[in-house]
Amino acid sequence: MPTSPAQPIIDRCLEENFVAAGVVPARRSPTAAQFQEWLAEGRHGEMHWMAEHVDVRVDPRELVPGARSVIVVADRYDGSSDDNRPPGGGRIARYARGRDYHRYMKKRLHRVADALLADHPGEVFRACVDTAPILEREVAAAAGLGAIGKHTLLIEPAVGSWLLLGEIVTTLEVEPTGSDERLDPCGTCTRCIEACPTDAITPWSVDASRCVSYLTIEHRTRIDPAFHEGMGDWLFGCDLCQEACPHNQPTDRTASSSREAQYEARSEGRDAAGASFDIREVLDWTEEDRRRAFETSAMKRAKLGMMRRNAVIVAGNLARGGGAPDLLDRLAQLAADPSEDELVRATARDVLAQLGDGAVET
């Protein structure tokens, strides 16, 4: 069967409001050995699922037997400055402030896949948004959507890294749009490395077990107190490496670049900008409060105990230097309450010990 041209497929993706699309041959990752080494060093932390189905993760042909191509799409979200946030809040990573991208992107990818199937009956089209084991930034770069920076995120030329990615793995052979040349968007710049408060980044590699995004979203147990201060006021995720990146600084082009309206920050239970939750409220959240706050949000993957654990750490950081004595009192109550969630209670004890108020009855 002859190779299908890429442009009609890209056009179909753009009709679904994706800001970019490209195609790469389905093949084994050229960085498979490095990825397996990264896993062997334990840099995936408690993300045990990353060590499962490694053969599938490094080769989409294992995900879809007979796959010949991967169609890659991108959404862009708002990376505007948070400088005007009110004090006392726990920050939310920008990608999670609006509608859950998993559902929104997958719904549109399914429409693209259905249209392609109608044009190419007998072929297989599988839509993937995070839930399938694909090295998405690598395939996106190979498809020509951008270049991977030292912080391991995809950088769109002259626009930045505020991107969400999705894929369709297919048995249809489609003309590739990228090249095998690896571009370096960073040069000698190391701003992302310097901005990371937990030293998680080395050039083109992130030790997830040290990353604030991982710690606040994926790490399910007690967080090493050595990382507490570095977590700052981040309640869910972290954008510091992206905020520092020169590619993400405001320009006329970034100001005029289209962004998906579905990812605009919601305001329910948050500050006026939708960028943070009041820490005092999160400390006292119930499961119903969490569900209400995270409705239609990508944040719902974080369980109640994790969010309150994160809030305890942020509260401790807000209280450093003698401020917010009411937060210290609340942490002391949590640490001393035998009926409290043990993850929250233990974290409160850790925070108080760091602040010099560790004499809490246990």
Q: Catalogue the active-site residues.
A: 130
β-pairing, 234-236 with 89-92?
A: parallel
Q: Give me the amino acid identity at 24.
A: V
Cβ atoms of 154 and 146 closer than 8 Å: yes
- 280-312 per-residue burial string, b: 16 or more CB within 10 A, e: under 16: bebbebeeeebeebbeebbbeebebbbbbbbbb
Sequence-distant (≥ 6) Cβ neighbours of residue 115 within 8 angstroms: 12
DSSP for 97-123, written as a single string: SSS-HHHHHHHHHHHHHHHHHHHSTT-
Q: What is the CA radius of gyration of the chain?
A: 22
Angle between helices 342-355 and 304-319 (to 10 degrees): 10
Report the DSSP pairing between strands 125-128 and 163-170. Answer: antiparallel
